[in-house]
Structure 1
């Protein structure tokens, strides 16, 4: 398809978040099934669950928010396990909502660079809730420069963000588990469904900005979006259709969730709030992501500040005979280092993949489990002032296994629209930092803020 430049577009039609909030009166609560924790980075003051027992779902519904997240971590699972987990979550939520007399609508939140189980996850939701009129497909993540224009999904690059790279030409499309060839979302849907879904309609930018918006008919409806106003215009049309009896399942990136709950693009958490959120002392950075962006960010972090570095060697982790002793040494080193400096616990940067998607995913799970085990031991022995998890699977495993953060609140972002701060109901604060967002200085910038707050 080739690279392009952001063309002259129709003027943005301003749609205030307040208009969406007003339209939310009497609408169902949105349950966001998040396939890794990074979907929370565009919102604030919403509950997030990493466990979905009935009492946890009941707690989330009792908060009275327009939406809540359930961290399913299905991007780290094989297809059968992912389907079983989604089904369990949906059934539990529906049962609790029935007892409370509450209506629900479900969003499957996944990667803005199109990695994840599709259409499997929306199919499972549809099976449990009844066949929807359409699946709303909106992977845009406007803060991170992932936009959809003319039905094509792009990554914005360049100093002014005007250079457009088709997503299928990015490193993310070569993912060992969830790779793909198509940048036009209609073609991507056909590709990922092995040709089973070809009835795809596109809601183009011209229609969103001209208004009033009418949803097209299709089994899947692709939403163009360059800014949040585009998404809010679509959301108003979706809410109107739902009030008239239409039923949708959403397959979306982070920005749609913010638009759907009527939140504006918020500024990052200010210094005073951050000081109240973190503890005293030094923090722990846990890095499992292997994308090039994370490796560059780790290198820049090391250039900009003195810190301790403890590395988990991936080939040793995959050697059952050497694994345990290696992880014991790593935990001891991290515990010692935290007494005097920020400490980075990371995997070796050489990526090891399997013979196929399933084996590659199994390797990724073993590596993440090793990081999680070391982090859990460190948190128990010497709780850090904060924990920053870099990478989606890593963030999920740290939240669920290392910190046991069953319930938490998303408090906001540390950089504009990216990198979310969770306040678990117990334990240290958790910073969720996706592997594929931010410039080369972003990780160092976040750590500078956290260290300044913890030492204030």
Structure 2
């Protein structure tokens, strides 16, 4: 279905406003009667881009999940990084995660809900991941899921759902998601912008758009909580619930009705972007992080930026960063991966240069060669294997650092995940907050290579063109 681009100003001027203080009061009261532990499975590290003071675990052992259950906060994250997995790998991982969640819940005698946090531009292993979670949890417990909530709204990234169509904001224009570069993803591509039709497309027709439940902006803005609650109470057979939203207020009103339905016995699985986690987890607003908050110790060393993402937004931000005088650039020619000896020598050169520059107090941006390595349509598996080798090499740059940088920024979801878990060897981090809207910062745990360092997880497709340069320049001020 072809849909039209829309003007941001025109769309938002037509949507009725609400008393946000009233909505805040109601959601606050409703959350006091909501006691399950909220477990968010993050398919790359950028899903913590709306929260702060929350733990992120980088493995899904029973021990880690048990620690999460025992925390005072109602919510914790598990980083799966499954967007970088094959279908077989993500199936195995989600079977293990679901089994361990059920086991930890039984140890702690605690109810739980699982949120599968996916990309706000609709990429990822959907519906595979939530179906595996559903099947495994049902097989190992008495839980039976009535439906699945789809809520990809993410204000900070300019992702809005209006009249059931999901949009991506470019400047002052809303582009239907199915007509963006994200829909052309080689692994996770799709054609539909209408979320019901997208879910039908992704499920190969198992679930029909016409039979899904739609939570309209009209109902949300009319605060018709009873109607929305009744819609949720009527959902059966794991059917899909499409939630429209253009602001956090819409998510809050939906969550009020959702909690009422859950408290009446309904069970839902969730596939959402980062907005729902903030609301249902009761996470307060927090100002953007300052340099002083992020620099735990004085150092004469430079910072490190690693750029792996190749999406258009990253390319634009990288061009802007190159205009900055506070940073040195080191290109990593990853195309040499086809020549193992040359590739090893190239990696050694990059590591040695990076160490020297950081020690001399220079900020360093290591970037992978900007042209994609394309072996052709019929060699996608070979490309995937090479991309893993490249990712391992990029990660080893951090692993082999001999000096502690002032800060680390990783650009791109898979890049930041690999650096966090393998390069920095983080087992548990705390989300300090955001340095720009939608750009989260971890404070690494004591077990990591650099304990207590500020690690900026900069999504490939988030931020203005100047955000990366401005963040680097802010952190570089002495």
Q: Same fold (TM over 0.5)?
A: yes
CA–CA distance in structure 1, aligned partners of residues 328 and 191 of structure 2: 40
Q: Which region of structure 1 is more displaced relative to structure 2, 345-354 or 289-298?
A: 345-354
Give TM-score, length-normalised by structure 2: 0.89
Instruction: Identify which of 10, 15, 18 aligns with 2:16.
Output: 10
Partner residue, 1:247 = 267
Instruction: Find the counterpart in structure 2 of residue 154 from structure 1.
Output: 167
Distance in structure 1 (CA, Å) of the matches to 2:293 and 2:317: 25
Equivalenced residues, count: 447
**What is the match of residue 300 of structure 1?**
320
Give the distance between the partners of 2:299 and 2:219, measured in 1 at CA.
Answer: 49
Given the superposition, is the C-alpha separation of residues 72 and 290 from structure 1 closer, same or farther in structure 2, using an over 3 Å criterion? same
Please report the TM-score for the alignment, with normalisation by the length of structure 1.
Answer: 0.94
**CA offset digits 1:74-131 (Å, max 9, x no partner):** 0000111011111212211221121111111000001000110000011011112224
- The equivalent of 1:110 in structure 2 is 118
Cα distance in 2 between the residues matched to 1:277 and 1:193: 50
Aligned residue for 2:60, secondary structure, equals coil
Question: 352, 362, 365: which is aligned to 2:373?
Answer: 352
Partners of 1:235 and 1:32 lie apart in 2 by: 16
Residues 31 and 69 of structure 1 are in contact (CA less than 8 Å); yes or no, is this contact kept in structure 2? yes
Cα deviation for residue 440 of structure 1 reads 0.8
CA distance in 2, matches of 1:17, 1:275: 33
SS of structure 2 residue aligned to 1:311 = strand
**After the TM superposition, which residues 297-336 of structure 1 pair with which residues of structure 2 at under 5 Å, given as runs?**
297-336=317-356
Match of residue 366, structure 1, among 383, 389, 398: 389
Please give the root-mean-square deviation of Cα atoms over the aligned residues, in Å: 1.8
Alpha carbons of structure 1 residues 182 and 275: separation in structure 2 relative to 1, 3 Å: same
Taking the TM superposition and a 5 Å limit, the aligned residue runs for 1:228-307 are: 228-276=248-296, 281-307=301-327
Q: Which residue pairs with 1:127 in the alignment?
A: 135
The more displaced of 132-141 and 21-30 is 21-30
Match among 212, 218, 225 for residue 206 of structure 1: 218
Match of residue 75 from structure 1: 83
- Higher mean alpha-carbon deviation, 38-47 vs 49-58, is at 49-58
Instruction: For 1:105 and 1:210, locate their aligned partners in 2 and report how far apart those are by CA, in whole Å.
Output: 28
Gaps of 5+ in 1: none
On the 8 A contact 2:166/2:195 being kept in 1, the answer is yes
2: distance between equivalents of 1:350 and 1:323?
16
Contact 1:17–1:259 (8 Å) recurs in 2 = no
Distance in 2, matches of 1:345 and 1:101, equals: 47
Show structure 2 runs of 5+ residues with no match.
Answer: 139-143
Cα distance 1:18–1:50, how it changes in 2: closer, same or farther (>3 A)?
A: farther
Any idea what the Cα deviations from partners look like across 1:272-314, whole Å, max 9, x if unmatched? 4223378653211011100111111112112022322112212
Determine the C-alpha separation between the residues in 2 that align with 1:351 and 1:37.
23
Per the alignment, residue 100 of structure 2 pairs with 92
For 1:42 and 1:408, the matched residues in 2 are separated by 15
- Give the drift of 1:17: 4.3
- Offset of residue 18 of structure 1: 5.1
